[in-house]
Structure 1
Amino acid sequence: MFSEELWPENEKKCAVLRKPKQGRKRQELLAVALGVKVGVKGAFLWPPLKLFACSQISSLVRRAALTHNDNHFNYEKTHNFKVHTFRGPHWCEYCANFMWGLIAQGVRCSDCGLNVHKQCSKHVPNDCQPDLKRIKKVYCCDLTTLVKAHNTQRPMVVDICIREIEARGLKSEGLYRVSGFTEHIEDVKMAFDRDGEKADISANIYPDINIITGALKLYFRDLPIPVITYDTYPKFIEAAKISNADERLEAVHDVLMLLPPAHYETLRYLMIHLKKVTMNEKDNFMNAENLGIVFGPTLMRSPEDSTLTTLHDMRYQKLIVQILIENEDVLF
């Protein structure tokens, strides 16, 4: 047993022994940041070099954080299986067994080309990685399929159109309310389908900004599954009917969390943009309510194909979009 008198002295010795170790670890960390090697015998770094190394470490931390955030957009996607007749012998890519028969031996994913038995398709994980060669167009393509195929956070159409609108159109009177020429809007659509992200929608080609806003609205209308999905539509309508403003806002936030990641990110980005539009209301005369009237039916469609339901829900559609714009900084 050590006596109490010896404790302080022993503790000091331990502290002395620990210091060089901690110092060496710090030296090694700084060296890694600089990409240099330090020797084992009393190596040291010149003080200015240390400062530079510390800045490099901060940069590494920031890059790691950005990489972590990017992983959020590694969206899951279900396979788009369709019955297929294979020519020649084929094996299931899930169970590895032979696919028997002369016709309709199995199913093939039209987005990534995965071939499996019909029964096996029920067990395949949601790991579809669409092949760009199979994506024939941008418009009318499923939103998640498009972002997975291009490995982006949002559809390119949304990014490119919004950048162009914010660059030269935020003060344009009646922005999004005024329609552009249909023929020119179709030209923009064809340009995106043909050229993808290389499509030229600059002022040199389309001086009227209403053509670009029209092309963006058309993209949303042409989606097979709306930005606000059919599954969440009834929940959003119910949330809009809540009379208490705070409870309504909370309910809207809860339903937003149910959206698929690609849909959520697209909606978030659009609402940030529309908020900027309302900040220029003195010039463009477009407030959140006006934009709600325009974008309500564009972003959300009833799963019921009923004219009566559509007419009945229009005021709630407008209200939901209005709430999303006005509370963009809180909801997203």
Structure 2
Amino acid sequence: MDLNERKNGLTTAKTPEGASPVGPVWKPDLYKLQQEAPRPNAVFCPNRQLCYPNHYGAAFHGAMSHNEAAAVLTNDGYYLVRLSGSSENPIYTLSLKFNGKVKHYKLYYDNGQHYVGDRKFDSLTELVAHGLVTMYIECEAGPYIALMSDLAQYEKSPAYLTLNRLKRKTKDQVIQDNNGPVDYDKPHNFKVHNFKGLNWCEFCGNFLWGFTAQGVKCEDCGFSAHVKCGEKLPADCCPDLKQMRGVFGIDLTSLVKVHRTARPFVVDKCVKEVEARGLDTEGIYRVSGFAEEMDSLRMAFDRDGENADVSAIVYDNINVVAGILKLYLRLLPIPLITYEAHPAIIRAVQLQTVGEQITGLKDALTLLPPAHYNTLKFLMSHLARVVEHQNQNKMSSQNLSTVFAPTLMPTPDLTKCANALPDMTNEIAALQLLIDHQHLIFS
């Protein structure tokens, strides 16, 4: 994939016919904003003898006015609990500072949980953290949030290809078996859900932010979405596919933990096949396969897992296998080179000498999770072997870096206009260094 294939945070895999086997990738912008939001920091009461409710801890300051609270809360993220009202009818107020202003909320506690609105939290810190994230995201991307469900193209979403094409295939087979039409439409059975870990809306592709009740999940098929997005989803629930969530678009670390492997099996199988019969193929990784074959292989991986057949008997065009490897990496919710490591890698590339750059890259890669690091090491070693055959395949380390940079080191930005393309000069230079000096960087 080249830079012209990536616009406005979306990537497509082009084919010779101009078709595309996949629509938008997961949009990480809201996840990045959550990471940037202020962190909760309780301001403890200096009067340790104060008798305060145990569930508020030392963050309770007793009776305190608005002005007194504002004087104590000096930085964004600072918070405290204060008392107002009469002794017969005490009112507890949560005061916190955000965006340079102190905000006050009536605080409630019931059955071990804290809340100021509908959502309840097991700890006061979780409540404040959720509030800070929500306010920060709404402040930075309010107009985008208001429109994201309207702008979504569900038919091109990452979930649609696997779930709905398999559903249609099942439906067509039932029609053939029963010699008559079958009404397969079924509304989703959505319930508000507390998601654990990192999760994305399968309707619009945006991050499900927050720490509790981030969205809704269908109890019959497992489809996850924002509340507003769930309201716009068609009646296409397919309960028979409840356990078949596939491998594409799944967090890399989660996938390898489930399969107990060092790297995703998709990467291993595709690399092995490319090295067996594709190293001398001109334009390997630059030329994409046909859309129908790409769809077929993706569904084979989602359906058969490690038993998917990628051999020449089924897919004689090696560009299909190479394209699926790129597609798998492109659909990772968190890129192979994570957002935490990305800036450090760019800083390393900007150092003066190659020796300094190599040392800087080694330090930057320590920020990667183990599964990401092991997969990147394996991939760079493979790409170095591809470069060894560049006289035949015409793919130098610079060519490969240009192809893989938007996939491995994406730089989406909510503020970019629709036709703007990011400058990936540094990312390309970083990947070229990783390929050319992989034996030193990963030693």
Unpaired segments ≥5 residues, structure 1: 1-97, 112-117, 120-132
Offset of residue 242 of structure 1: 1.9
Q: Is the 8 A contact 1:110 1:134 kept in 2?
A: no
Secondary structure of the 2:367 match is coil
After the TM superposition, which residues 241-256 of structure 1 pair with which residues of structure 2 at under 5 Å, given as runs? 241-256=350-365
Task: Provide the residue aligned with 1:206 in structure 2.
Answer: 315
More helix by share: 1
Does the alignment pair 1:293 with 2:402? yes
Offset of residue 303 of structure 1: 5.7
- AA matched with 1:327: H
How far does the alpha carbon of each residue in 1:114-170 deviate from its partner, in whole angstroms, 9 at most, with x for none?
Answer: xxxx89xxxxxxxxxxxxx96712000000000011110000100010011111111
| Greater relative contact order (CA < 8 Å, ≥ 6 in sequence) | 2
Task: Provide the residue aligned with 1:230 in structure 2.
Answer: 339
Larger radius of gyration: 1
Secondary structure of the 1:154 match is coil
Offset of residue 281 of structure 1: 1.0
Quick one: structure 1 residues 307 and 217, their matched pair in 2 at CA, closer, same or farther if it must change by over 3 Å? Answer: farther
Offset of residue 108 of structure 1: 5.1
- AA matched with 1:247: E
For 2:320 and 2:112, how far apart are their aligned partners in 1?
50
235-244 or 266-275: which moved more?
Answer: 235-244
For 2:386 and 2:424, how far apart are their aligned partners in 1?
22
Q: Is the 8 A contact 1:237 1:313 kept in 2?
A: no
Offset of residue 105 of structure 1: 7.3
Task: Provide the residue aligned with 2:300 in structure 1.
Answer: 191
Task: Provide the residue aligned with 1:330 in structure 2.
Answer: 440
- With normalisation by structure 2, the TM-score equals 0.45
RMSD: 2.9
Q: Is the 8 A contact 1:235 1:255 kept in 2?
A: yes
Segments of 4+ moved more than 3 angstroms? 98-101, 103-111, 303-308, 310-313
For 1:245 and 1:291, how far apart are their aligned partners in 2?
20
- With normalisation by structure 1, the TM-score equals 0.60
Offset of residue 244 of structure 1: 2.0
Quick one: structure 1 residues 306 and 217, their matched pair in 2 at CA, closer, same or farther if it must change by over 3 Å? Answer: farther
Does the alignment pair 1:258 with 2:258? no
Unpaired segments ≥5 residues, structure 2: 1-110, 122-192, 198-210, 213-241
- AA matched with 1:199: A
Quick one: structure 1 residues 135 and 104, their matched pair in 2 at CA, closer, same or farther if it must change by over 3 Å? Answer: farther
For 2:402 and 2:113, how far apart are their aligned partners in 1?
55
For 1:265 and 1:214, how far apart are their aligned partners in 2?
21
Task: Provide the residue aligned with 2:186 in structure 1.
Answer: none
Quick one: structure 1 residues 265 and 305, their matched pair in 2 at CA, closer, same or farther if it must change by over 3 Å? Answer: farther
Task: Provide the residue aligned with 1:320 in structure 2.
Answer: 430
Quick one: structure 1 residues 306 and 277, their matched pair in 2 at CA, closer, same or farther if it must change by over 3 Å? Answer: farther
- AA matched with 2:298: K
Task: Provide the residue aligned with 2:257 in structure 1.
Answer: 148
- AA matched with 2:249: C
Offset of residue 304 of structure 1: 3.5
Q: Is the 8 A contact 1:156 1:197 kept in 2?
A: yes
Quick one: structure 1 residues 262 and 135, their matched pair in 2 at CA, closer, same or farther if it must change by over 3 Å? Answer: farther
- AA matched with 2:308: A
More strand by share: 2
Offset of residue 269 of structure 1: 0.3
Offset of residue 255 of structure 1: 0.2
Offset of residue 245 of structure 1: 1.7
Task: Provide the residue aligned with 1:216 in structure 2.
Answer: 325
After the TM superposition, which residues 1-332 of structure 1 pair with which residues of structure 2 at under 5 Å, given as runs? 136-302=245-411, 304-307=413-416, 311-332=421-442
Q: Is the 8 A contact 2:252 2:332 kept in 1?
A: yes
Q: Is the 8 A contact 2:326 2:407 kept in 1?
A: yes
Quick one: structure 1 residues 272 and 306, their matched pair in 2 at CA, closer, same or farther if it must change by over 3 Å? Answer: farther
For 1:201 and 1:281, how far apart are their aligned partners in 2?
24
Q: Is the 8 A contact 1:140 1:222 kept in 2?
A: yes
- AA matched with 2:355: D
For 2:435 and 2:415, how far apart are their aligned partners in 1?
27
How far does the alpha carbon of each residue in 1:242-281 deviate from its partner, in whole angstroms, 9 at most, with x for none?
Answer: 2322111111111011110000000000011001101111
Q: Is the 8 A contact 1:288 1:326 kept in 2?
A: yes
Q: Is the 8 A contact 2:244 2:303 kept in 1?
A: no
Sequence identity percentage:
45
For 2:413 and 2:369, how far apart are their aligned partners in 1?
21
- AA matched with 1:325: I
- AA matched with 1:252: L
